[in-house]
Structure 1
Amino acid sequence: MNIYRHTFAATCPSDGDTIIYSLEIRSLAVVMVEHIRTATALIKSGYHERIADDLAERLGGDQTIKAVHQGVEIETVRLSG
């Protein structure tokens, strides 16, 4: 099992807040670090759940994304297969 962790930022389309996201990918396959950095850099704005869907499609593996927005902790889990 390979575990990758990365932190990135995106803007909330509703209120313009900058949100810091923590991404964790667990995968039996190798996920290139460059792919993780590129996929997250492409996300400038979006809703947490849609960001999770996009990254799951692009990068695969089992993913958990966490963030706090307006005092609400949000955690999404996307499982492969």
Structure 2
Amino acid sequence: MIKTMIQHAKKHPGLIPQFFFTTVGLTGAILYLIRLAKGPHVTLWDRKNNPEPWNKLDPTYQYKFVAIQTDYKNLKKEGPDF
């Protein structure tokens, strides 16, 4: 695969930045996923020693939920009035 990338880059030098940024993006994504897997609270990849990781969190742990406050009085109706 790398050999074909080098051959394409020799024929079309405009592809070199695309190959570079794609490689950098994939490397960053992989490193980020590895960092997430080693989280302090829940280890998702250790299924033998921790099959249900949510049971080991203490009751005071604050979960991250999304709360969107909307004023329902100002919303437009999408249907006709009957």
Which TM-score band applies after superposition, normalised by the shorter structure?
Answer: under 0.3
- Normalised to the residue count of structure 1, the TM-score between the two structures is 0.22
Name the larger-Rg structure: 2
> Which structure: greater helix fraction?
2
TM-score normalized by structure 2? 0.22
The structure where strand makes up a greater share of residues is 1
